[in-house]
Structure 1
């Protein structure tokens, strides 16, 4: 159920990420914009492992927006 999101955590040092909004392409090739991804469980280098409520649990995604906790 994890989606890999390619981002560089070093671009946002010292800030807690509230959620990542990403563009998701599912295994059938359909696209959706603005899927809310949350619950980051780990990251290594520039790859996050996260849990998502999206309908496409096997999707790959790329980050198009970041929101922080103020």
Structure 2
């Protein structure tokens, strides 16, 4: 009886832990989706800028370096 009660309590704790981890995983998955959306937007912006300004591709590394130093 005592072992059975302990097992039931352990199962309840594990179920709660699984539920918590599932919610956390869903949250992380949403963030990954947002990051992927931003990556595609950036690719589109870079493509547009490189078509409008041919020297953009050459200046991009310089611009990124400058932005990193200001951050």
What's the TM-score, normalizing by structure 1?
0.17
> 1 or 2, which has the higher helix percentage?
2
> 1 or 2, which has the higher strand percentage?
1
What's the TM-score, normalizing by structure 2?
0.17
Which structure has more relative contact order (CA 8 Å, sep 6+)? It is 1
